[in-house]
Amino acid sequence: MTTPKKLFIKTYGCQMNVYDSERMVEALGGEGYVETKSADDADMILLNTCHIREKAAEKVYSELGRFKDLKAENPNLKIGVAGCVAQAEGEEIMRRQPLVDLVVGPQSYHRLPAMEKAVQQGAKALDTDFPEDDKFDTLTKRAKTKRGPTAFLTVQEGCDKFCAFCVVPYTRGAEVSRPAAQVLKEAQELVDAGVREITLLGQNVNAYHGHEKGLAGLIWALDKIDGLARIRFTTSHPNDMDDALIEAHGTCTKLMPYLHLPVQSGSDAILKAMNRKHTAESYIRLIERIREARPDLLLSGDFIVGFPGETDQDFEDTMNLIREVNYGQAYSFKYSTRPGTPAAERAQVAEALKTERLANLQALLSTQQRAVQETMVGREVRVLFEKTGRQEGQLIGKSEYLHAVYADAPASLIGQVVPVRIIANSPNSLAGQCIQ
């Protein structure tokens, strides 16, 4: 019997990279690999990288440096870099770090089996093309092994918006949507494996056009799958939030009342400089329409502070927008340059000022988040339990509003949607009691 080879994969960044890593594991499974949680005993190490955060490439090189000793101990160890840093810096990675055997971009990882064969023969393998063949057609169907209750499912990739701060159009390419039939088939396979909640992923997911009725049409098609209890989607652009999708939030019971809708800034001058193609006012009016359709919606957003040219008034406009919208969750960052993007060439805001503004903005967002969570105390929510907690007899899951909830419950309830009354609020989770 052939001893399986061990694959260690480390994933950085967004949920789409989590999904991609799962598919890479499956692709290499056909070559005799099984996943291991430790790099120390791996036959192949893959870093699935993200280019969004500051100094992303340098962090990859630092991580690769940690594997030098492993390579020295095991000359047969193969090391690869995948994802958006691989796409942006493929040849440079090979040049700067000779221990790397393969580099593969996010649109080419279906070619990993062939690349693995090449490196086993002593070759170096580099593929950062935007291939004409559809990677999702090439990839085998999802493994039938038992899955956890939740799963990500990529339905759209790339972006045509060209925001001035963002590298995604250059690393992921133009917007491409998977055919609805392909998505529905994979969703059914996930449900057959035990998944109860699916989160649809895309760099600009509500621009999905693989169904004749757009993302709303896909959601309604997924709604018909028996055994699928919940549907979510992320990340969206305000300009692609159409009437049908807004209506789905009010009428599709499987579509959860949580929406991540980044605005980035509350200043029209900064939004224009960012090339966002919407205004603060249009964003606020859109939120009003969505909340009219689903009054209990919990809203999440993204904010960048210290974008080039941001004045004190621009920042105050952002703070005012946050006060008006009232976010249940949000992600906020200091602007950092991305080589090759338009904003990288502009005069930068002083780092100390960015730090000060970010602290003030995050304090406001934290206050809003705590207040929203406090309103949950005493309410009944429906929790999809996902795993056991740290304490014996405790389970952890997510409410329909994506709040983490823990409660005393038997392990037999993992994978079930259970009514729970919230009894306490803590910074990053809620405590509840199952309702019998």
Task: State what percent of residues in the chain have pLDDT above 90.
Answer: 70
The answer to whether 50 is a known ligand-binding residue is yes
The answer to whether 434 is a known ligand-binding residue is no
- The better pLDDT of the pair 99, 56 is held by 99
Helix (H, G, I), strand (E, B) or coil at 7: strand
Average pLDDT, the chain: 92
Q: 330 φ, ψ to 5°?
A: -165, 160
pLDDT at 57 over 80: no
Lowest mean pLDDT, pick from 41-55, 194-208, 361-375, 411-425:
41-55
pLDDT tens for each residue of 175-217: 999 999 999 999 999 999 999 999 999 999 999 999 999 999 9
pLDDT at 143 over 70: no
Q: How far apart are CA 155 and CA 233, in angstroms?
A: 10
Confidence at residue 131, expressed as pLDDT on a 0 to 100 scale: 63
Helix (H, G, I), strand (E, B) or coil at 96: helix
Confidence at residue 158, expressed as pLDDT on a 0 to 100 scale: 87
Helix (H, G, I), strand (E, B) or coil at 166: coil
How many angstroms separate the Cα of 259 from the Cα of each of 199, 223, 255, 385? 11, 18, 10, 21
**For residue 320, which of 263, 261, 267 has the smallest C-alpha distance?**
267
User: For residue 235, is the peptide bond before it cis, meaning its omega torsion is within 30 degrees of 0?
Assistant: yes
Cα(first)–Cα(last) distance of the chain, in Å? 50
Lowest mean pLDDT, pick from 83-92, 177-186, 400-409:
83-92
Judge contact between 348 and 309, C-beta under 8 A.
no
User: Which pLDDT band, with edges at 50, 70 and 90, does 141 fall under?
Assistant: low
- The better pLDDT of the pair 227, 133 is held by 227
User: Which pLDDT band, with edges at 50, 70 and 90, does 47 fall under?
Assistant: very high
The answer to whether 14 is a known ligand-binding residue is yes
Confidence at residue 146, expressed as pLDDT on a 0 to 100 scale: 79
Pick the CATH number of 5-127 from 3.30.479.10, 3.40.50.12160, 3.60.20.10, 2.60.120.10: 3.40.50.12160
User: Which pLDDT band, with edges at 50, 70 and 90, does 50 fall under?
Assistant: confident
User: Which pLDDT band, with edges at 50, 70 and 90, does 1 fall under?
Assistant: low
User: Which pLDDT band, with edges at 50, 70 and 90, does 415 fall under?
Assistant: very high
pLDDT tens for each residue of 101-117: 999 988 888 888 899 99
Place of tokens 């942006």: 88
User: What value does the mean pLDDT take over residues 407-411?
Assistant: 96
Task: State what percent of residues in the chain have pLDDT above 70.
Answer: 94
Name the pairing type of β-strands 230-234 and 197-201.
parallel
Q: 229 φ, ψ to 5°?
A: -95, -30
Judge contact between 180 and 210, C-beta under 8 A.
yes
pLDDT tens for each residue of 144-160: 677 899 999 999 988 99
Confidence at residue 132, expressed as pLDDT on a 0 to 100 scale: 59
The whole-model pTM stands at 0.86
Q: How far apart are CA 397 and CA 231, in angstroms?
A: 15
Confidence at residue 331, expressed as pLDDT on a 0 to 100 scale: 94
Confidence at residue 326, expressed as pLDDT on a 0 to 100 scale: 97
* Residue 108 tokens, joined: 């080419």
State the sign of the Cα–Cα–Cα–Cα dihedral 177, 180, 182, 183. Answer: positive
Enumerate residues 6+ apart whose C-beta is below 8 A from 1. none
pLDDT at 296 over 80: yes
Domain locations along the chain: 5-127, 145-256, 380-434
* Residue 87 tokens, joined: 């796409």
Confidence at residue 340, expressed as pLDDT on a 0 to 100 scale: 81
Confidence at residue 173, expressed as pLDDT on a 0 to 100 scale: 82
Fold match, 5-127 / 145-256: no
pLDDT at 84 over 90: no
DSSP letter for 37, please.
S
Task: Specify the CATH class of 380-434 in words.
Answer: mainly beta
**For residue 261, which of 234, 230, 296 has the smallest C-alpha distance?**
234
Task: Specify the CATH class of 145-256 in words.
Answer: alpha beta
Confidence at residue 53, expressed as pLDDT on a 0 to 100 scale: 63
User: What value does the mean pLDDT take over residues 356-367?
Assistant: 98
Q: How far apart are CA 16 and CA 154, in angstroms?
A: 7
User: What value does the mean pLDDT take over residues 64-73?
Assistant: 89
Rounded CA Rg of the chain: 22
Other Cβ atoms less than 10 A from the Cβ of 250: the count is 15
Confidence at residue 416, expressed as pLDDT on a 0 to 100 scale: 97
In terms of C-beta density within 10 A (0-12 exposed, 13-18 middle, 19 or more buried), how is residue 257 classed? middle
pLDDT at 2 over 90: no
pLDDT tens for each residue of 297-338: 999 999 999 999 999 999 999 999 999 999 999 999 999 888
Q: How far apart are CA 5 and CA 10, in angstroms?
A: 17
Confidence at residue 111, expressed as pLDDT on a 0 to 100 scale: 87
